[in-house]
Chain A
Amino acid sequence: MSAISTADIHTINNLLEQHKTLPGALLPILHSIQDQLGYVPPEVVPMIASTLNQSSAEIHGVISFYHHFLTHKPGQNKISICLAESCQALGSTGLEKDIKQRLNIDYHQTTKDGKYTLEPVYCLGNCACSPAIRIGEKIYGEMDINKFDELLEALVTYKVELT
């Protein structure tokens, strides 16, 4: 379903070429692919494996170990909710339920319109402004469902800037 295009293959080959000689190249490679495509498509596993002279199983093992790497194409906006203790102390458990309800999805799912993907995260380091969430590269603090609604509103208006 998520067959990658020839253009994507070209991009991936360039990224592999750029990073393959780094010591411990695999994480930088995976990051660069996810930064470009939004996820690490399963089709790239054999490409990485042959570049690094490792088995596909080894590459798959690394991808599946780390929470950050996604193996399915996410929505236009990745939303992460912090579930760690500091945010719990200020009501993140309730916020989590509200957000799931608002988007009508659970963690690791994407809304039907392809706009939002929801992920849990254990600490954004914004513990002095709990509860915290992250949308794309931006981190927001002192979040509640009303502020969340405002953020979604802004995302619809300024989609390009925030994705």
Chain B
Amino acid sequence: MNSTCASIANRVFVSLDTSALSKGSEAVAERIQQYLIKQPDMDVTLVRNGTRGMVWLEPLVEFETAQGRIAYGPVKPEDVADIFQQQPFSGLNNHRLCLGLTDNLPWMKKQQRLTFARVGLIDPLDIEDYIRHDGFTGLKNALSQSPQAIVLQVKESGLRGRGGAAFPTGIKWQTVLDTPSEQKYIVCNADEGDSGTFADRMLMEGDPLVLIEGMLIAGLAVGATQGYIYLRSEYPQAHKILNMAINRAEAAGYLGDNICGSGKRFALEVRLGAGAYICGEETSLLESLEGKRGVVRAKPPLPAIEGLFGQPTVVNNVISLASVPIILSRGGEFYRDFGIGRSRGTIPMQLAGNISRPGLLELAFGVSLDELLEDLGGGCKTNRPMRSVQVGGPLGAYLAPEHWSTPIDYEEFAKINAVLGHGGVVVFDDTVDMAVQARFAMEFCVVESCGKCTPCRIGAVRGVEVIDKLTDVHADQGQRQQSLSLLNELCDTMELASLCAMGGMTPIPVRSALKYYPADFGLAPLLVDPRSTHQENTSK
């Protein structure tokens, strides 16, 4: 997409995304403002956009030119005057920070940006800018269709839940549509707690209106009139931006009692979580929204039938909902044509941890991790060999190099006892001790378990203890063997008997660490039980 829209002033862009701010983009923006005040003859507007996802280049400054946007980065406040003196609006130049046309950078060229099409491109809080970039086209189409026709489009797109469980979104919507009720709800799960993931945050900060549009369409599709965004309290910037976007959408008639003059109603409210990882599990999230402890509910009943306040409720992740507008504007088939196998469309992959070029890439399913880690990620930030990557958050597997050629696809990952989860990839170099990481997985479950079911609540505590015994330097091989079989049995119990993915998937990182890195536990490779892990990958 090109953004050479009819603006009179020259536009310069500096991101307001949390990661960009944490790298100093605010100071750069302030310096630009100060510089412009001193140059009253320059007609320049400073736009605060989302991030392009190339976080290692932040603070990134972009200048709109006749050829397209030209990027400079990472920029320090003291570089600002220098860059402006090079006539940045007239085209490419030899400034040492000039990276070239943003769209031609390898990171950008590699991607198929559908859900993130506008992130980093537009002013996130400018409704006109949103509309100029195809915003609200999906909503307009949805308003002219029957609820069933909307649900059919989503089904046809093959979209599956991007929170991690990969349940088909269209089927969930159909269940809610088919359940008669006076009041239904759309709940957006923005409790993005997995380490290594920030796609939801980046989208909410960079294009909040696409999420609002997706929730509106979901409301029209199933007959819901109230939506809640359950946002984690660790995201203060996203909170601010979402609330501003909701106010502006209301003022412009996109939310409220008469959406775009259609007579249809939809209200939207942001609710803050309170630092509980488990509230990313949908039933725990609903309890929390109801003002209770975030304790997991037994299913059935499914939230689609008895969800928030006992009413039929769509609970979808931010990225799932934000992918709906393009499906409605371009058609289910358009979206389905991206991807491989049963993994249709695109997924935002997030490179994090020890990597030279961290950030977010939206890609059609089918690319291998290798391509991301080496070509685009540029290897470890510490310049040491890469030893392991954890994919899919704290409940995802630690993968050894032999698996990095696996295509990014839900089913291919399941075959190697791994999960794609929410698309987070955390990289570790060769100094990592995998026994420590396995212990951490259990420890995390101790801290974050809601406590409802025994395998999770007590199993995790026992898991930490047994890993300590296993790795005790004073233990002999016989004792180690005993601890190992105990750990394996414990993992079986947690996998098979936990109510939700928290207890059910905690064994995944533990077992993968044991399987691929036995020496870290003081074990010979053959000692490790090669049994495959079961996956109850249903609710995270």
Q: Which residues of A contact B (CB under 8 A)?
A: 23-28, 30-31, 52, 61-62, 65-69, 84-90, 121-130, 132, 134, 137-142
Contact = CB atoms under 8 A, between A and B. Distances in A.
Contacts of B192: 125
Interface in B197-223: 197-198, 200-201
25 contacts: A27-B288, A28-B271, A31-B272, A62-B292, A66-B273, A86-B426, A87-B195, A88-B437, A89-B428, A90-B353, A90-B381, A121-B234, A122-B444, A123-B194, A123-B234, A126-B18, A127-B198, A127-B353, A127-B358, A128-B19, A129-B22, A130-B352, A130-B354, A132-B22, A139-B18
Contacts of A84: 195-196, 394, 444
B537 interface: no
Contact of A128 (B55, B294, B390, B440): B55
A66 B18 contact: no
B274 A85 contact: no
A138 B19 CA distance: 11
Interface in B230-276: 232-237, 271-276
B358 A125 contact: no
B19 A129 contact: yes
**Interface on chain B toward A: helix, strand, loop, or mixed SS?**
mixed
Nearest to A69: B274
Nearest to B290: A24
Contacts of B200: 125
Given A69-B274, A129-B23, A88 B440 contact: yes
Contacts of B194: 123
B157 to A, nearest CB: 27
Interface residues of B, number: 62
A150 to B, nearest CB: 12
A127 B197 CA distance: 7
Contacts of A26: 291-292
A137 B240 CA distance: 11
Contact of A67 (B274, B350, B444): B274
A122 B358 contact: no
Interface in B286-327: 288-295, 309
Contacts of A61: 293
A127 B195 contact: yes
A28 B56 CA distance: 36
Given A24-B290, A127-B196, A132-B22, A86 B353 contact: yes
A130 B275 contact: no
Given A27-B272, A62-B292, A129 B233 contact: no
Contacts of B21: 138-139
Given A85-B195, A89-B354, A137-B236, A127 B359 contact: no
Contacts of B294: 65-66
Interface string B426-452: 111100100001001000100110100
Given A23-B309, A24-B271, A61-B293, 5 more contacts: A24-B309, A27-B274, A89-B352, A128-B56, A140-B22
3 nearest CB pairs, A to B: A26-B291, A84-B195, A89-B353
B353 A129 contact: no
Nearest to A121: B234
